[in-house]
Structure 1
Amino acid sequence: MSVDGALARVIRSAAGRAERTEAETCELCAADVAAEHPHLYDTGAAEVRCVCRPCSVLFADDGAGEGRYRLVPRRRLRLPPVDTGVLGVPVGLVFFVPRADGTVTAQGPSPAGAMRWEVDPAAWQRLVAAVPQLATMTPDVEALLVNTVRGLDAHWIVPVDDCYRMVALVRREWRGLSGGGEVWPAVEQFFRELTERS
């Protein structure tokens, strides 16, 4: 085989691999998944996994996985303003995830990814007593998402994968020390596009 022929074969092979990796696949059965697809929360790895609809059905109502995988719900619920200052988290763009073991983590986006804090469980319980909707959150897979940056006052119960999308958006759009001119309009657009789902 000529050098030109071998090079062309390598280029075609690399292009084929790039196309295959760009298309998302189910992390359980390797089937292609649509742009809008379900997610599972892997409790062992503390990560969100993409799944196809047929595989997601296996995990509805904690049906399979012996608790290792939890289906991320699709509920989004807009809340009235919530006084999260009592939780002691010093940022205005943050999400709070109650865990199955009773702990609560707060995570805020940054240019390097998510920053993480442990929240005082007693302070969280006081907040839940003041805002009863928070008691309906499913541990590990739903979060209280808050944005009080630049005069906004947005509070939502959302699927945890929405929070990770927001972290990725901030990381992608951040420029320089202050974020630049693109990140905050992009975050505001993210919150405008949130719609309630039940």
Structure 2
Amino acid sequence: MTARGALARVIRSAAGRAAAAEAERCELCAATVPGEHPHLYESGAAEVRCVCGPCSVLFAGDGAGQGRYRLVPRRRVRLPAVDTGVLGVPVGLVFFVPRGDGTVTAQGPSPAGAMRWEVDAAAWERLAGMCPQLASVAPDVEALLVNTVRGLDEHWIVPVDDCYRMVALVRREWRGLSGGDRVWPAVERFFAELTERS
């Protein structure tokens, strides 16, 4: 084998190892998971975990996981305009997550990750009275995702993993103090690519 061929083989091998190391893995059984995969919400850590299809089946029932893990649903529902001003959150790109304990958190993406604050639970109840679909939002694993930046008026019930994808997108694309010229077109594409599913 020539030196050139050996070098090419080493480079291919290193690239293969790097790709394998970067591949996402199921956080329960360590199997490699595809780009689009299910997630579990771990209540103790209040975090979303990647899982493979077979492991997700174990948590499909309401009683599965004994409350420690909950399967993040896949449902997305586009809502008509919702007056989120009653929640007192002056941010145009934000998601609201009702919690199992009755509280509601609002989180907005920033270059440093998600900013988080509590929302008045009574105000959330008033909003749910105006938009009855919000009463169906599953605590901890679904959210109301809102984008009113740059003239948009998007309101969705989505899985929380969609919200975290949006936070990661903003963090990745943000440049300078105002976000630069990449972040807002990327956010608009994110919302344009959302599709309803049950």
Q: Does TM, normalized by the shorter one, top 0.5?
A: yes
- Aligned residue runs from structure 1 range 126-145, under 5 A: 126-145=126-145
Residue 79 of structure 1 aligns with which residue? 79
| 1:35 shift after superposition | 1.5
Q: Displacement, 1:63? A: 3.9
TM-superposed deviation, 1:18: 2.7
Residue 111 of structure 2 corresponds to which residue in structure 1? 111
- Paired residue secondary structure (1:123): helix
Q: Equivalent residue of 1:146, what SS?
A: strand
Aligned counterpart, 1:146: 146
The TM-score normalised by the length of structure 1 is 0.91
1:171 alignment partner in structure 2: 171
How many angstroms apart in 1 are the aligned matches of 2:154 and 2:194? 10
Letter in 1 for 2:165: R
CA offsets 1:129-170 (integer angstroms, 9 cap, x no match): 110000011100000000000000000000000000000000
- Secondary structure of residue in 1 paired with 2:140: coil
AA aligned opposite 1:184:
W
Which residue does the alignment assign to 2:39?
Answer: 39
**Which stretch shows the higher mean deviation, 38-47 or 107-116?**
38-47
Kindly provide the amino acid, as one letter, of the partner of residue 51 in structure 2.
V
Question: 2: CA distance between counterparts of 1:123 and 1:164?
Answer: 24
Q: Separation in 1 of the partners of 2:48 and 2:153? A: 27
1:46 CA drift (Å): 1.1
Name the counterpart of 2:23.
Answer: 23
Q: Compared with structure 1, are the counterparts of its residues 21 and 181 closer, same or farther at alpha carbon in structure 2 (3 Å cutoff)?
A: same
Aligned-partner Cα distance in 2 for 1:98–1:61 = 20
- Where 2:61 maps in the other structure, the secondary structure is helix
Structure 1 portions without partners, runs of 5+: 1-10
Gaps in structure 2 of 5+ consecutive residues? 1-10
- Give me the CA root mean square deviation: 1.6
* 1:61 aligned onto 2:61: yes
Shift of 1:14: 6.8
Task: Name the SS for the 1:45 alignment partner.
Answer: coil
TM-score by length of 2: 0.91
> What is the aligned residue count?
189
Q: Percent identity?
A: 85
